[in-house]
Structure 1
Amino acid sequence: MLSFKTLAVLAALTLGAVARPADMAARDEAPTTTPSTEKITFAMAAPGLETGVQCGPNKCGAGLVCCNESCGICSAPRGVCITLWCGEPILSV
């Protein structure tokens, strides 16, 4: 069974609630007619990973950056990331 957090992330992606950092130079260029072949990358940070950048309750792996600290989600630099607020982490006692 999927957790609520996982379902929320999947729902946000399905509904198109994704955002990509704006590249000011690319925005000023004339649009091209060639379809983009750029791949979309998305990765969930692994809990307890010993290397990388702190991302909420998780740490990002090598080559990844924290793109959504409230959800602990990492992505490739300049990759896509959801704009979802996961709230404060729930700490188990």
Structure 2
Amino acid sequence: MQISEFKCLLERALALMEKKLLKSNESIIKVFINEYNRVLGIINYDSKDISNGELRKMKMFTRMYMETSSDYKQDFLYAMGDVESAIKKHFS
């Protein structure tokens, strides 16, 4: 996977999280948004500088959210799952 493809996955998930935040104002979503923005900042600054350590927390975000909600069929969760799968497959 090219870093540009990974960046697109991050941006898609981030857009869906921001949409979710407008509807729900859940504080946990704000945490996810901050972390995704932090990683995007690293990628935008120097894509070679991204490491598994930088991505480690993101691999658990979907599970973290599912522990707070019983509504698992949400677009942003699917997008976050795609990001987590990419991290596990290409960056671990």
Could you say which TM-score interval applies, normalised by the shorter chain?
0.3 to 0.5
Bigger CA radius of gyration: 1
Could you tell me the TM-score, scaled by structure 2's length?
A: 0.33
The structure carrying a bigger strand percent of its residues is 1
Q: Which has the higher contact order (CA 8 A, sep 6+)?
A: 2
Could you tell me the TM-score, scaled by structure 1's length?
A: 0.33
